[in-house]
Amino acid sequence: MIQLHDLEFVPYISEETITTAIEELSVQINRDYEEKTPIFLGILNGAFLVASEIIKRFPGACEVSFVKLGSYEGTTTTGKVQTLLGLTQELEGREVIVIEDIIDTGNTLVEIDRILREKKVSGYRIATLFYKPEAYKKELSIDYIGIEIPNYFIVGYGLDYDGLGRNLTQVYKLKK
């Protein structure tokens, strides 16, 4: 068990399971983008670890960019997505692979979809390490899913609780 701020968390997903999921995601992405030069777009802050792992497994030429969006306060979403750090790279006519750490409500994806349409990308696909099907109510398709989980609040491997826990190599869930 670990404590972050005022909450206790218990082990949930091992580092080995996470690594296996990332390897499987990478195989799918590498197959679909063979002989293409995609732009990997990591969603900060949470996706920095999974993005680095997927990108370093990509054998071809690629570019990397990040955008920082925020919608959480504590353990709950505000329902409003703010752009905290925008895109500076030209994306028009490019193939983009969006890398998320977790998809739950899908509010961030709706904002990413808006941004990418505005930037006139030729196409994009979405990859996520963790996916909460119970919480996801949007229409956007998710192309690459690492691990489906129930609607638990989790920390570790890039995910945080009020800034703490991103550095943990395994994932913990909120203790009930």
The rounded Cα 90 to chain-centroid distance in angstroms is 21
**Structure tokens belonging to residue 112:** 């990413």
Mark whether 101 is an active-site residue: no
Rg (CA), the chain: 16
What phi and psi values does residue 60 have, to the nearest 5 degrees?
Answer: -100, -170
Point out the catalytic residue in the list 6, 104, 113, 143.
Answer: 104
Separation between Cα atoms, residue 73 and residue 97, nearest integer Å:
27
- Apex 57 CA angle, 107 and 92, nearest 5: 50
- Residues marked active site are found at 104
